[in-house]
């Protein structure tokens, strides 16, 4: 008994490639937004970028020993855990 899987997987692949082409076309052909961006919007965006950078720095600081142990291959003892 042979299973027929070729038809279903090829249809799925063609749908995925068609969807990728449509999304790419939509991204490459933008339409005008017709929106007003005041100076407060720019400072709001800058504030968001700063918040992401500070948040990532804080997360790295909190988990630094675990990240270091992951890359160096060392194991952490239960009493070495600075997070608790």
pLDDT in tens, 12-53: 678 888 999 999 998 898 888 788 888 898 899 999 999 999
In the chain, where the domains are located: 6-80
Evaluated on CA atoms 57, 59, 65, 67, the torsion sign reads: negative
Mean pLDDT of 44-68: 94
**What is the rounded CA–CA span in Å between residue 17 and residue 11?**
10
* pTM (two decimals): 0.47
Distance CA 84, CA 80 (A): 9
Q: Are 59 and 53 in contact (CB under 8 A)?
A: no
């Amino acid at each position: 008994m042979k299973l027929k899987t070729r038809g279903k997987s090829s249809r799925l692949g063609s749908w995925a490639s068609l969807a990728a082409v449509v999304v790419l076309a939509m991204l490459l052909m933008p339409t005008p937004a017709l929106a007003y961006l005041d100076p407060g919007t720019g400072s709001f965006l800058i504030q968001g970028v700063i918040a992401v950078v500070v948040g990532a720095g804080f997360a790295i600081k909190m988990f630094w020993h675990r990240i270091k142990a992951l890359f160096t291959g060392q194991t952490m003892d239960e009493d070495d855990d600075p997070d608790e």
